[in-house]
């Protein structure tokens, strides 16, 4: 059985063995590439999916309005700051726009019933093209400090009328 092979046949067999060797190397390389997924890669994928899900819930679901726990008749400044936060939440979720009037905030951003809208009439609200908005108490007692809230911050001033 030991036949003498010619140089042409030896060359063909060598090429066939070389092709087979290259094919094996490629298959081994593909197998190694598929095997690269380890615990760290799984951790990264799971963490990324959880982070994306949380951001989706934050951005698209929003937050419910905070429940009312204070008496607005006795302490109107509490509602003033709640309304300010509601205006900022409105701007965040409505594309950096401010509401036309304060009643647009009810019930999604301020937890007031339709029968309690008169509480919002106590406040002066004005949309401003440059500042965004101005919010303050509509009426105040003489000598009492007035508060005007805008996106830039809080401005305080005291009225000198009626001071003794």
Domain residue spans of the chain: 7-60, 65-158
Q: How many residues does the chain have?
A: 164
1 or 144: which leads in pLDDT: 144
Q: Please give the model's pTM, rounded to 2 decimal places.
A: 0.53
Q: Contact 123/139 with Cβ under 8 angstroms?
A: no
Question: Which residues partner with 123 through β-bridges?
Answer: 137
Q: Which residues contact 143 (CB under 8 A, 6 or more apart)?
A: 158, 159, 161, 162, 163, 164
Task: Please tell me the predicted confidence (pLDDT) of residue 15.
Answer: 78
Indicate the pLDDT class of residue 163, thresholds 50, 70 and 90.
Answer: very low
- Over residues 112-132, the mean pLDDT reads 81
Owner of token pair 């809208």:
117
Lowest mean pLDDT segment, chosen from 70-74, 102-106, 113-117, 127-131:
70-74
CB contact burial 136-157 (16+ within 10 A = b; e otherwise)? bbeeeeeeeeebebbeeeeeee
């Amino acid at each position: 059985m030991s036949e003498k092979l010619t140089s042409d046949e030896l060359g063909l067999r060598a090429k066939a063995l070389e092709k087979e060797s290259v094919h094996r190397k490629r298959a081994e390389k593909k197998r190694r590439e598929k095997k690269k997924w380890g615990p760290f890669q799984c951790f990264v994928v799971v963490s990324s999916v959880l982070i994306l899900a949380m951001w989706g819930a934050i951005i698209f679901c929003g937050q419910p309005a905070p429940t009312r726990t204070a008496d607005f008749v006795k302490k109107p400044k509490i509602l003033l700051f709640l309304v300010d936060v509601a205006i900022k939440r409105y701007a965040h979720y409505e594309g950096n726009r401010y509401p036309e009037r304060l009643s647009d905030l009810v019930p999604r951003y301020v937890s007031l019933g339709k029968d309690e809208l008169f509480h919002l009439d106590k406040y002066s609200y004005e949309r401003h093209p440059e500042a965004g908005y101005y919010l303050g108490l509509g009426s105040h007692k003489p000598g009492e400090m007035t508060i005007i809230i805008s996106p830039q911050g809080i401005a305080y001033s005291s009225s000198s009328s009626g001071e003794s």
